[in-house]
Amino acid sequence: MLALGFNMSLAHVSAQAAEGVLKKAYYCHGFKEDQSPKDVAEFFKQDETVYLSIELKGRPKSGVMAAKFMFRDDLLAEAKVDVATVNKGVIFSYGEDTFVGFDMKPNKPLPVGACYKVSVTFEDKPLGLFPFRVAPPKEAAPSKFLGATLAKGKDDDDKPVDATHDFAGMDKVFLVGSGNLGLASWLEVTWLVNGKVDDAGTRSFTMKENKDGVPFYFSFIPAGGWPAGTHEVSLQLDGQEVAHEKFTVKEGAPMAGATKLELDSSQLFQDDGKGEPGKEVKAFTTDDTELHARWKLKKEALVKGVQFIWALVEVEGEKPQVLATADVEAGVNDEIDSSLTAKKGLPAGKYRVDLVQDGKVLDSKAFEVK
């Protein structure tokens, strides 16, 4: 998965003149003293700070401007500024514009591609949506997608085996392809199950060198198998879709699709000294540093969208609070477990662990620490 990190800083606003409407937006490599653009940019390098200078007509007396930096539809960073804090008390004006500057500095190299944008609003009303591009390194060769095939497998040379668009409910589906890939280019695959993205299947990799004829493959089967229906896989190169295939499952897997869990019983366990459940208990001691909880199901089922929430309920001198949350990996099971690590042990008091599915509490297990 692609991991992005940013430092967001807000540049000063320079006011020089009365309608508070957008005149122009500039990407640049820096700001002048009045926050107007210095060295207008056509693109940015992977480790380069992104500067955006917004030019407004007039001298707004008030109004909050907000900028949201986006990677595709994911929010990376945001900031706000009230232009009134600058325009208040301005006596002299040298021009007809007000410039607002925002900049974003990446903590790590940005993925290359034209899949970035900044959404700007003024007084909560859209002012503009401004795309920008991150270019590959100078030494990167051009990337080109050569093709991909759906199949039931792949051989040792990463060639497709049993190419098809028809699969059984328990088949792992392979997307096998090749491409000429340049340094820093990245491929990402997304699987849609009956039209809905299954995040568990999203995978990507980034090139560390220039290489022609690179074979690649991605494979996926949802937790519990494929339900009957038409499913899809989308492949992107540097954030742009280069392949989109549909395939059919006529007879779905028995456990496919989300189901509500039927609970049988719940238990608490002390640690066995190896990080696993040991002796069953009704309560814990302040010396216990590993706490375990388990729910047994009435029958084997697809466990999906499940989370445990460990909470402090009543402890002297402490406010009720969530101590930890843990997401359960999707799969077919007849029991589900969770553990809480408390390096110094928990203080004496009352606690609770909740079993949650799709945001709804299915059951709660109250316990004490003595």
Domains and their CATH numbers in the chain = 6-134 (2.60.40.10), 144-249 (2.60.40.1930), 263-369 (2.60.40.1930)
Residue type, 112: V
The answer to whether the beta carbons of residues 234 and 190 sit under 8 Å apart is yes
Alpha-carbon distances of 124 from 17, 21, 67, 86, 241, rounded to whole Å: 22, 13, 11, 19, 32
Residue 340: which of 352, 358, 356 has the closest Cα? 352
> Across residues 69-97, what is the average pLDDT?
72
pLDDT tens for 287-305 read 999 999 999 999 888 888 8
pLDDT tens for 111-162 read 999 999 999 998 888 899 999 999 999 999 999 999 999 999 999 999 999 9
Per-residue model confidence (pLDDT) at position 83: 78
Flag whether pLDDT at 42 surpasses 80: yes
Which two tokens mark 234? 């989308």
pLDDT tens for 129-142 read 999 999 999 999 99
Flag whether pLDDT at 217 surpasses 60: yes
Q: Torsion-angle region of residue 126: left (phi > 0), alpha (psi -120 to 50) or beta?
A: beta
Alpha-carbon distances of 226 from 145, 215, 258, 313, 333, rounded to whole Å: 28, 26, 11, 41, 17
Average pLDDT for the chain? 89
* Chain Cα centroid distance, residue 257: 23
d(CA 258, CA 134): 39
Residue 272: which of 365, 216, 337, 324 has the closest Cα? 337
Per-residue model confidence (pLDDT) at position 258: 64
Flag whether pLDDT at 170 surpasses 90: yes
Per-residue model confidence (pLDDT) at position 95: 54
Which two tokens mark 358? 């799709």
Flag whether pLDDT at 90 surpasses 50: no
> Across residues 245-250, what is the average pLDDT?
97
Q: Which residue has the tokens 């459940």?
A: 277
Residue type, 300: E
What pTM, to 2 d.p., does this model score? 0.74
> Across residues 40-48, what is the average pLDDT?
95
d(CA 62, CA 60): 5
Per-residue model confidence (pLDDT) at position 11: 41
Local confidence band at 87 (pLDDT 50, 70, 90 cut-offs) = low
Per-residue model confidence (pLDDT) at position 18: 33
- List the single range of 15-19, 52-56, 349-353 with lowest mean pLDDT: 15-19
pLDDT exceeding 90 applies to what percent of the chain? 72
Q: What is the DSSP string of 52-84?
A: EEEEEES--SS-EEEEEEEETTEEEEEEEEETH
